[in-house]
Amino acid sequence: MQSIKQQLQAVQTLQELENLKVQMSGKKGVLTLAFAQLKNLEGEEKKQKAQELNLLKQEFESIYENKKSELQTLELAKKLEKERIDVSLFTQNKAGKTHYIHLMIEKILDYFSLLNFEVCQGSLIEEDFYNFEALNIPKFHPARDMQDTFYTRDQKVLRTHTSPVQIHTMLNKKPPLRMIAPGAVFRRDYDLTHSPMFHQVEGLMVDEKGLVSFSHLKFILEDFLKSIFGDIQVRFRSSFFPFTEPSAEVDMSCVFCQGEGCRVCSHTGWLEVLGCGMVNDNVFKAVGYENVSGYAFGLGVERFAMLYYAINDLRGFFEVDLRN
């Protein structure tokens, strides 16, 4: 029995340990047999022997338990070492990175989030009401021609701009509000500088009548463009959108020739980058807002990204080229 105890101290594996346990207290184990022999003894002698055996048993079991947990820990460590996954392998995967359109959207949202504009999202398939009607573009109005587009059979429309998010937001919230809404839009255009799907970011700010003015809009957009494109000049040209009055188109001095005139700016020195204006009262009427004033603006993300990252072919955004 002493030798079994010594062997116990020296075992290296769980298997060896289990073998020893069988030798000790299995059916024909040394201890089992010794306990069986007790029946041949009598009185004091029997009592003493039984005590001895019980002590031995306890001692064996405690060494056994310690040894077992020690070996289990060791074997687990070995197993983990063998099955180790090299997670750094995944970081070397070069296929895939954030798309330029997404990066651009993030930059734009960063600016407006700091000014407490809430990021809102609408749906790509819209009811006529949100995309046109509530934005002061009635049926059969010539303003629809500019955006004549994709309809589903049940007369839903793939949104032609992000402006319907203005309507959803105003119907869901009470003024004052500030929202910024990025997302895909669809138009029936396809040439070198237009694709049938592209992205816009819409902005809207509404507050009590008289609190929001065109000068706020002008300041914000100028500051925004400078924060993205750096040292540029900005100008506002009067324009027309059915959902804003007055409306303006915003140009910035060409980022490639610093306003000298080049191919990108068609030798004008200016690039058109935004549409904006004060929210038309008819839009407020359509959503049931009273005694408020507000401004709205919309921009094309692809155009921004082409200017920001100096990309000269729009199609590159939608093609898969693993080299980039």
Site for ligand PHE contains 112 (CB under 6 A): no
Nearer to ligand PHE, 24 or 305 (CB): 305
Site for ligand PHE contains 276 (CB under 6 A): yes
Residue type, 136: N
Minimum separation from the CB atom of position 295 to ligand PHE (A) = 8
Minimum separation from the CB atom of position 316 to ligand PHE (A) = 22
Residues 90-109 that bind ligand PHE (CB under 6 A): none
Residues that bind ligand PHE (rule: CB under 6 A) add up to a total of 11
Minimum separation from the CB atom of position 222 to ligand PHE (A) = 16
118-119 and 177-186: which strand pairing?
parallel
User: In this chain, which stretch among 1-9, 61-69, 175-183, 274-282 interacts with ligand PHE, using CB under 6 A?
Assistant: 274-282
Minimum separation from the CB atom of position 297 to ligand PHE (A) = 5
Between helix 30-37 and helix 43-82 the angle, nearest 10°, is 170
Q: Contact letters (x/-) for ligand PHE, 244-263, by CB under 6 A?
A: x-------------------
Minimum separation from the CB atom of position 225 to ligand PHE (A) = 15
Q: Answer for the pair 242, 324: CB distance below 8 angstroms, yes or no.
A: no
- Positive or negative torsion for Cα 104, 322, 194, 306: positive
Minimum separation from the CB atom of position 277 to ligand PHE (A) = 5
Helices and strands counted in the chain (H then E): 11, 9
Minimum separation from the CB atom of position 163 to ligand PHE (A) = 4
- Pairwise CA distance, residues 68 & 235, whole Å: 80
- Pairwise CA distance, residues 131 & 143, whole Å: 12
Minimum separation from the CB atom of position 289 to ligand PHE (A) = 16
Nearer to ligand PHE, 202 or 302 (CB): 202
Site for ligand PHE contains 277 (CB under 6 A): yes
Nearer to ligand PHE, 21 or 161 (CB): 161
Which contacts (CB < 8 Å, 24+ apart) does range 262-271 have? 264/307, 264/312, 270/235, 271/307
List Cβ neighbours of 157 (8 Å cut-off, separation of 6 or more). 125, 126, 127, 128, 131, 132, 149, 150, 151
Minimum separation from the CB atom of position 147 to ligand PHE (A) = 8
Residues 279-318 that bind ligand PHE (CB under 6 A): 296-298
Q: Contact letters (x/-) for ligand PHE, 24-53, by CB under 6 A?
A: ------------------------------
Nearest alpha carbon to residue 242 among 184, 180, 161: 161
197-208 and 234-241: which strand pairing?
unpaired
Nearest alpha carbon to residue 33 among 55, 16, 57, 13: 57
Nearer to ligand PHE, 16 or 272 (CB): 272
**What is the full DSSP assignment across 239-286?**
EEETTEEEEEEEEEE-TTTTTS--TTTTTSSEEEEEEEEEEPHHHHHH
Nearest alpha carbon to residue 296 among 106, 138, 123, 117: 117
User: In this chain, which stretch among 116-124, 190-198, 253-261, 271-279 interacts with ligand PHE, using CB under 6 A?
Assistant: 271-279
Q: Cis omega before residue 164 (within 30°)?
A: no
**Interface contacts to ligand PHE, rule CB under 6 A:** 161, 163, 202, 241, 244, 275-277, 296-298
